[in-house]
């Protein structure tokens, strides 16, 4: 039987000024994670822009204005061809999570956020939050049974029978669902990630 850590690890293969006190009180809120990116992503900007433009040099100008950085969007089908994403069964979902409108099409701002989160510099809690978002396929802030079934289908390329997928999902929930409500909250998920020593190295794209 697959262990939950195995199932979870297979996948990992416009900023506002925020109130520090609010972030200290609720460190798991997404807006606090955005604040971290605002402070720490800029050293990679030039290198990331070169990679972004390489995806579609006809669409992305050599010199991009501030307005173009959040209005010119590269289609998701082209982003998915990046070497780091093209073999990932969750490539479309990854793009959707980082896309500002959920479409999967990425502006430079979106792309910079994605590369910042996948960089070596991003701390574990930032990476864990976005890994959780990627698995939360229906965007209800929980990883439920249907999310896990679909994740298992993607990870195994549909090669398992429905009963086998059900068994895997039951095992995952049995091991990781701390409060027994039949779904994984972010706290449940993070508890698993803490016990996965390879998480930081696998949730990574070299900038």
Domain regions of the chain by residue span:
123-206
Predicted confidence band of residue 37 (pLDDT cuts 50, 70, 90): low
Q: How many CB atoms lie within 10 A of CB 187?
A: 11
Tokens of 202: 């696998």
pLDDT digits (tens, 9 = 90+) for 118-155: 888 788 888 889 999 999 999 999 999 999 999 999 98
| Residue 72 in this model has a pLDDT that exceeds 90 | yes
pLDDT digits (tens, 9 = 90+) for 178-194: 999 999 999 999 888 87
Q: What b/e readout covers 79-111, taking b as 16+ CB neighbours within 10 angstroms?
A: bbebeebeebebbbbbbbbbbeeeebbbbbbbb
Which of 7-21, 31-45, 156-170, 187-201 comes out lowest in average pLDDT? 7-21
Pick the residue with more confidence: 142 or 3? 142
As a CATH number, domain 123-206 is 1.10.238.10
Measured CA to CA, the distance from residue 118 to residue 162 in angstroms comes to 32
Q: What does the pLDDT read at residue 206?
A: 63
Q: What does the pLDDT read at residue 110?
A: 94
Sequence-ordered strand ranges (E) for the chain: 73-74, 106-107
């Amino acid at each position: 039987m697959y262990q939950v850590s195995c199932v979870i690890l297979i996948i990992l293969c416009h900023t506002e000024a925020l109130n520090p006190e609010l972030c200290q009180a609720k460190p798991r809120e997404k807006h606090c994670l955005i604040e971290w990116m605002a402070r720490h992503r800029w050293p990679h900007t030039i290198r990331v822009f070169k990679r972004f433009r390489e995806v579609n040099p006809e669409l992305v100008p050599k010199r991009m204005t501030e307005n173009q950085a959040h209005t010119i969007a590269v289609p998701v089908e082209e982003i998915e061809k990046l070497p780091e994403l093209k073999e990932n069964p969750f490539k479309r979902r990854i793009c959707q999570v980082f896309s500002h409108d959920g479409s999967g099409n990425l502006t430079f701002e979106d792309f910079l956020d994605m590369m910042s989160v996948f960089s070596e510099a991003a701390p574990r809690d930032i990476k864990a939050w976005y890994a959780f978002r990627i698995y939360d396929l229906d965007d209800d802030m929980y990883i439920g049974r249907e999310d896990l079934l679909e994740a298992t289908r993607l990870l195994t390329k549909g090669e398992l029978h429905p009963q086998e997928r059900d068994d895997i999902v039951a095992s995952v929930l049995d091991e990781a669902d701390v409060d027994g409500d039949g779904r994984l909250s972010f706290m449940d998920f993070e508890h698993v990630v803490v016990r996965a020593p390879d998480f930081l190295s696998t949730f990574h794209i070299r900038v």
